[in-house]
Structure 1
Amino acid sequence: MGKGTRFIMSQGEISRKDNSLCFRKDGKNTYIPIEATRELYLLNEVSLNTKFLDFAAKAGVVIHFFNYYGYYSGTFYPKEYLISGNMTIKQSEAFIKNRIEIAKAFVNGIAVNIYEVVYHYYKHDKKETKVFLNWLKHDFVELLVKTNDIKQVLFLEGQIWMKFYDNFKYFLPEDFLMNKRVKRPPDNPMNSMVSFGNSILYARTISQIYHTHLNQSISFLHEPSEGRFSLSLDLSEAFKPVIVYKTIFELVNNKRIQVSKHFDKKLNYCLLNEAGKKVFIEALENRFNTVFEHPKLKRKVSYETAIKLDGYKLMKHIGEGKLFSPFSLKEMM
């Protein structure tokens, strides 16, 4: 688990006890040092009170809430300490004047990273993926360059994901094919893992943006009206192939996640069980904390830090007009 990140997967009660977080379950207490906690993920029904929230806020702890199906419900975080009126004005101006170009950059970031993820399998004799790779490299690029309509940009994004899902059959076992993306609730093991992984990535992105001057509510690819933290939806997109899907593919192909052991299947939905969540979260946290040599900074950074760096790059674009290009897995090779 990443330092400072804590997950609570069971029902219980959380409160303040002296200078620690105290989680009480079945009459037993587990203590979590507040100074070692940066983020708290509540993945089940957990009772708490305002005294605890005040304690967490003063310690700078961000708390993410998830519902029964593993979906992100909301975030409690301390008073924004880096909020900038000047940046909010510039961010609003960028939305009005330059939304299309920024949205296209996000979609191109998705395509670049999906290409690298799928190309890995192409190199390992999954030659059936060549049609999709060629589309990403040629047809998609041409279509994206030509369009100046936000609906067309969103349509292209949808096409990327649909074609990506369709290629799963070339490198995943049949039990883990998606067929189609079903979210609420997920209807099979793959949809269950994607929904859960995307929710955690979205929450982690909220935390990273919190430590920048950006306004969480002003987004470019997603409509700002979609939610208070819609910018996190934007910034997380390019990281989905790198963090969520690569983690899933490795767990499945290495048989560390199995349908019979790690999922609860009901009539109309399928969810990771507690054992499955533990395996998945551990692998996902390892991915967040994996470090690589940053080509421009010339130092090692983690994938989690790379999310915040994308926020800084967006700020540079908004404030100084510098070219914005989301995180690229290709540049890290």
Structure 2
Amino acid sequence: MAGGTKYLMSMGELKRKDNSIVFKNDKGNSYLPVESIQELYCMNEISINTKFLDFAAKAGIVIHFFNYYGYYSGTFYPKENLVSGRVTIKQVGAFLNNRNYIAKAFVSGIGENIYQLLYHYYRHDKKEVEPALEWIREKLPEYMEDGNMEIKQILRVEGEIWQRFYECFKYILPEDFVLNKRVKRPPDNPINALISFGNSILYSKTVAQIYNTHLNQTISYLHEPSEGRFSLSLDLSEVFKPAIVYRTIFDLVNTKQIQVSKHFDKKYNYCLLNDEGRKIFVQAIEQRFESVFDHKKLKRKVSYKTAIRLDGYKLIKYLVEGEEFKPFSLKDMM
């Protein structure tokens, strides 16, 4: 798969053999070229030993693990070689003194990208989304200009943006993919299954991109910093959801590449993509990550995956040099 990313969809075992990676499953051995792999996605039960992990670390390979249900479990990455005490101190200082400013920037970015996505459908005769567009265009800036907003209020505004977005799904998607309520663990219907799976992949991709910056993954601003997760990746990934996850979902569903009758398993109170559905979704979202656009400010072609890392650099610029922090916007595309 493009961009140095390899997805392993079946059960098996990863081993080192000389200077190669071998994936062994019931179909035999597959040899993976080390020099062309930057990320490995383990989407099933895969056995790994410490000898292989040491080899992967020296090769600079990041490994993401997902469980049987498609939930992100965690990431193994090499020892951080871009550690910066200066940036970490600045991150902590910004959390203590300017958290609301950064959190608002993320929320404004979410609203802007949802607006651009909905406007695309508005221009294609989905006029029913106009109330959501109007709210984002007129009401959201009023909230963001309030200098006295606390973080809880900022989060409530973020929640309202997403809710208004979800309410538009019935105008964009066929009836069997309508979102009645966002349910995460476990997802209870096909659209929730797609959203959860897509968000997990985006989150893990963001973890890998932040790894290549000087940022500390655990110090976040919109989400609460907490033990056991890289909360800064949650922050940075939010603004990319409309451009990457939801565009992928809308395209796959509306072109009938993903169908309820063919690509989901329903059990008890949860619903998951089956193996075929996962393969289709993974291929589509990976193509989205690797697709390029002409960046208005940089005046060069940039992939969506690179844009995630660029947002990390923008945050560093704000922390260290005081430059305005403005996350990725679909309006940056020429």
Counterpart code for 2:284: A
Contact preservation (8 Å) 1:288, 1:303: yes
Secondary structure of the structure 2 residue equivalent to 1:68 = coil
1:215-241 per-position Cα deviation (integer Å, ceiling 9, x unaligned): 111000000116431100000000000
Partner of 2:108: 108
CA 1:145 to 1:226, structure 2 compared with 1: closer, same or farther past 3 Å?
Answer: farther
Contact preservation (8 Å) 2:297, 2:332: no
Partner of 1:257: 258
Partner of 1:325: 326
Partner of 2:90: 90
Counterpart code for 1:332: M
- 1:2, distance to aligned residue in structure 2 (A): 2.2
Contact preservation (8 Å) 1:144, 1:156: no
Counterpart code for 1:253: N
- Give the whole-Å Cα distance in 2 for the aligned partners of 1:164 and 1:242: 13
- 1:276, distance to aligned residue in structure 2 (A): 0.5
Partner of 2:313: 312
- Give the whole-Å Cα distance in 2 for the aligned partners of 1:283 and 1:306: 18
Partner of 1:240: 241
Secondary structure of the structure 2 residue equivalent to 1:79 = coil
The reply to whether residue 23 of structure 1 matches residue 31 of structure 2 is no
- Give the whole-Å Cα distance in 1 for the aligned partners of 2:229 and 2:128: 41
Contact preservation (8 Å) 1:117, 1:242: yes
The reply to whether residue 46 of structure 1 matches residue 46 of structure 2 is yes
Partner of 2:68: 68
- Give the whole-Å Cα distance in 2 for the aligned partners of 1:29 and 1:322: 51
Aligned residues: 333
Secondary structure of the structure 2 residue equivalent to 1:30 = strand
Partner of 1:8: 8
- Give the whole-Å Cα distance in 2 for the aligned partners of 1:191 and 1:163: 16
Counterpart code for 1:214: L
- Give the whole-Å Cα distance in 1 for the aligned partners of 2:231 and 2:74: 12
Partner of 1:286: 287
Q: Normalising to structure 2: TM-score of the pair?
A: 0.98
- Give the whole-Å Cα distance in 1 for the aligned partners of 2:251 and 2:227: 32
- 1:188, distance to aligned residue in structure 2 (A): 0.7
Contact preservation (8 Å) 1:106, 1:238: yes
- Give the whole-Å Cα distance in 2 for the aligned partners of 1:9 and 1:48: 15
Contact preservation (8 Å) 2:217, 2:233: yes
Contact preservation (8 Å) 1:19, 1:33: no
- Give the whole-Å Cα distance in 2 for the aligned partners of 1:199 and 1:324: 25
- Give the whole-Å Cα distance in 2 for the aligned partners of 1:230 and 1:257: 31
**Higher mean displacement: 136-145 or 214-223:** 136-145
Partner of 1:173: 174
- Give the whole-Å Cα distance in 2 for the aligned partners of 1:48 and 1:27: 18
Counterpart code for 1:77: Y
Cα RMSD (Å): 1.0
- Give the whole-Å Cα distance in 1 for the aligned partners of 2:126 and 2:200: 30
Partner of 1:145: 145
Structure 1 unaligned segments of length 5 or more: list them.
Answer: none
Runs of 4+ in structure 1 off by over 3 angstroms are: none
1:234-254 per-position Cα deviation (integer Å, ceiling 9, x unaligned): 000000000000000000111
- Give the whole-Å Cα distance in 2 for the aligned partners of 1:31 and 1:116: 42
- Give the whole-Å Cα distance in 1 for the aligned partners of 2:239 and 2:27: 43
Contact preservation (8 Å) 2:173, 2:253: yes
- 1:20, distance to aligned residue in structure 2 (A): 1.5
- Give the whole-Å Cα distance in 2 for the aligned partners of 1:3 and 1:118: 29
Structure 2 unaligned segments of length 5 or more: list them.
Answer: none
1:299-321 per-position Cα deviation (integer Å, ceiling 9, x unaligned): 11100000000000000000000
- 1:3, distance to aligned residue in structure 2 (A): 2.4
Contact preservation (8 Å) 1:310, 1:326: yes
Secondary structure of the structure 2 residue equivalent to 1:81 = coil
Counterpart code for 1:93: G
- Give the whole-Å Cα distance in 2 for the aligned partners of 1:190 and 1:307: 25
Counterpart code for 2:256: K
Partner of 1:199: 200
Partner of 1:217: 218
